[in-house]
Amino acid sequence: MSAKSKRGDRPLYKWVDTTHDLKRVAADLERRKAMGVDLEADSMFHYREKVCLVQISTRLETYLIDPLAMRDLKPLTPVFKDKTVRKIFHGADYDLRSLYRDFMIEVEPLFDTQIAARFLGIRETGLANLLRDRLGVVTDKKYQKKDWSVRPLPEPMLEYGAMDSSYLIPLAGVLESELRKRGRLQWVEEECEIQSRVRPVPAAGYPLFQKFRGAGKLDPRGLAVLEKILRFREKVAMRRDRPPFKVMGNGPVMDMAVIRPRKEEALRKIKGLSPRQVKSLGPSLLREIDTAMRLHENDLPVYPRKRRQRHDHIVTARVKALKQWREERSRKLEIDPALVCSNSLVHTLAVENLKAVNQLEGVEDMRGWQRQEFGNEIFAVLKSATP
């Protein structure tokens, strides 16, 4: 385990690239009350993204763990599940999904400084903004979108990697103190507990166009063209080991689905397609488009749409009343209205024909802190809006 020293004898970070050293790190982490965690990945540079660096900081040490040099991170699995060691992330959603996808690591208990910031009514919740405003620390994000799969990593990137995780524990302390003063710490802890259960979404089993922005505006023929182009792009991206958007941008993909060019001359007019792309990909693209255009109408895909529920005037009145209450409550609390009561929860509550306030316990999407803080108010609003 090599150490980089920058201030006196205290190392800025320790580099960990063997299972033997990883076990020593895990033993050290098990003795701590909290650890700040951050990840770096390579989604901008490779077809299948992977975690390329795991940064873990205690109050005494910062470890830069190289998962590319080890088969797995199993020695860390117990400490990430250890309820006596608090795991502090910022914007944890992506990191939690990545840790589970690559290493089957589950995280609890979680404290997410971004969630904490939102419940404090902070508008700019990026980590750099919070470090500047709460700790007076200025950070440089120029390495954020670099290729973290390269080895050896340049020293400036290593120092950058060590920076963010090393400030998470003191930042969490500041935010926790503010939350406690406002009586909102329990709110954040419940939200973090729910967040800790997120898992990667399976990629297979549905047409690619379902996750393509704007696809819902296309007719069935356009969807067929779009699907063919997207699948072709995936094959090329996999072969080249590049992200699909670096093979061909979403803009020209959508334009081709709308215009449906059948000749190379028309393909050249697609904005965002370079002459080089037209030369290398053009013949295959035209074949895919031609295949989609020849499909029988009965074989064309249909965009899946949720059936809109028809609500009577009572439900409509409840929705309106709840949204008015939500706006007033969020103004007083100085937080995002969606945190007080999301749109989906508003509609769920409006449809439920609640007869007593204790029936809020059965509303699946409702948080415990919401029932405790707003339960009586919400029931009163629903009752007043119901003839």
CATH code, 208-299: 1.10.150.80
pLDDT in tens, 194-233: 999 999 987 666 899 999 999 999 999 999 999 999 999 9
Query: How much is the pLDDT for 140?
Result: 82
Cis, bond preceding 207 (omega within 30 deg of 0): no
**What is the 8-class DSSP label of residue 30?**
T
Query: What pTM was computed for the model?
Result: 0.89
pLDDT in tens, 54-64: 999 999 999 99
Query: How much is the pLDDT for 9?
Result: 44
Cis, bond preceding 109 (omega within 30 deg of 0): yes
Q: Beta strand pairing status for 51-57 and 62-65?
A: antiparallel
> Is 208-299's fold the same as 313-384's?
yes
Q: How deeply is 27 buried, as exposed, middle or buried, from its count of CB atoms within 10 A (0-12, 13-18, 19+)? A: exposed
The CATH architecture that domain 313-384 belongs to is Orthogonal Bundle (1.10)
Q: How confident is the model at residue 8 (pLDDT cuts 50, 70, 90)?
A: very low
Listed by start position, the domains of the chain span 2-195, 208-299, 313-384
pLDDT in tens, 92-109: 999 999 999 999 999 999
**What is the 8-class DSSP label of residue 360?**
G
pLDDT in tens, 323-334: 999 999 999 999
pLDDT in tens, 152-188: 999 999 999 999 899 999 999 999 999 999 999 999 9
Average pLDDT, the chain: 93
| Contacts of residue 58, Cβ cutoff 8 Å, sequence gap at least 6 | 28, 29, 32, 34, 35, 36, 169
pLDDT in tens, 226-269: 999 999 999 999 999 999 999 999 999 999 999 999 999 999 99
Q: How deeply is 115 buried, as exposed, middle or buried, from its count of CB atoms within 10 A (0-12, 13-18, 19+)? A: buried
**Average confidence (pLDDT) over 271-296:** 96
**What is the 8-class DSSP label of residue 306?**
P
Give the CATH class of 2-195.
alpha beta
Strand order in the sheet with 10-16: 2-7, 10-16, 62-65, 51-57, 34-41, 86-89, 110-112
Element (H, E) at 5: strand 2-7
